[in-house]
Amino acid sequence: MGKKRGRLDIVEDMLLAIQKKGGEIKPTHLMYKSNLSYKQMNIYLEELMEKDFVEKKKLDERELIVIKDRGYHFLSKIKEMRQFEETFGLDD
């Protein structure tokens, strides 16, 4: 069984899922791709929007989650942190 994900892991998974879809994703897809329940996803989505990492957009009646520049920046910071932990052997 895999290790329990922390808050940062979940945020990373969500941002990565949006990035892999070219920067925008449907909420249902995001929910599946980041392995979250609908309720959990909304809690995290609220937080990501508060921090200006993502925004909701309406396109032809469809709702999309779009990653913003701050989100990309945070994703690169996480990547940098992971590299630091791996380099120093702190990634367990």
Q: Which residues would be at the binding site for another protein (CB under 8 A)? A: 6-8, 19, 72, 75-81, 83-90, 92
How far apart are CB 47 and another protein at their closest, in Å? 14
Tell me the residue type at 44: Y
> What are the structure tokens assigned to 90, written together?
């702190």
Residues 6+ apart with CB under 8 A from 27: 41, 45, 63, 65
Q: Which is nearer to another protein, 66 or 78 (CB)?
A: 78
Nearest distance from C-beta of residue 88 to another protein, angstroms: 6
Nearer to another protein, 9 or 63 (CB): 9
Helices H, strands E: what count in the chain? 4, 3
Residue 61: CB minimum distance to another protein, A: 29
